[in-house]
Amino acid sequence: MANDRADGRWHLKASELPATVFGARDTTHNRLNANLGQPDDPAIKELYRFLDPLVGNSR
């Protein structure tokens, strides 16, 4: 629990809000931002996988 408190994850757990972590490989913030929204981008696929059930979309 001490590690959770150190990085703030305990706030999300306590609020019962859904959360996930995605680690993009071989990229930078600039590349991630530039590719976000591209149909084959792994980050956007993961974002949709997370959001779709929350907003009722199915792809």
Is 42 a domain residue? yes
Q: Is the pLDDT of residue 58 over 90?
A: no
- Quick: pLDDT tens for 23-48: 888 889 899 899 888 988 988 888 88
Tokens 């792994």 correspond to 42
User: Does some domain include residue 1?
Assistant: no
Number of structural domains (the chain) is 1
Residue 5 lies in a domain: no
The percent of residues above 90 in pLDDT, for the chain, comes to 5
CB atoms within 10 A of CB 51: 11
> What is the C-alpha separation between 47 and 11, in angstroms, rounded?
21
Query: Does residue 49 form part of some domain?
Result: yes
Residue 46 belongs to some domain of the structure: yes
State yes or no: pLDDT of 5 exceeds 70.
Answer: no
Q: Is the Cα torsion angle 10, 27, 35, 43 positive or negative in sign?
A: negative
Q: Is the pTM of this model over 0.85?
A: no
For 24, the domain range is 20-59
Interior angle at CA 36, CA 6 and CA 10, nearest 5: 15
From residue 40, give the alpha-carbon distance in Å to each of 13, 14, 57. Answer: 31, 34, 18
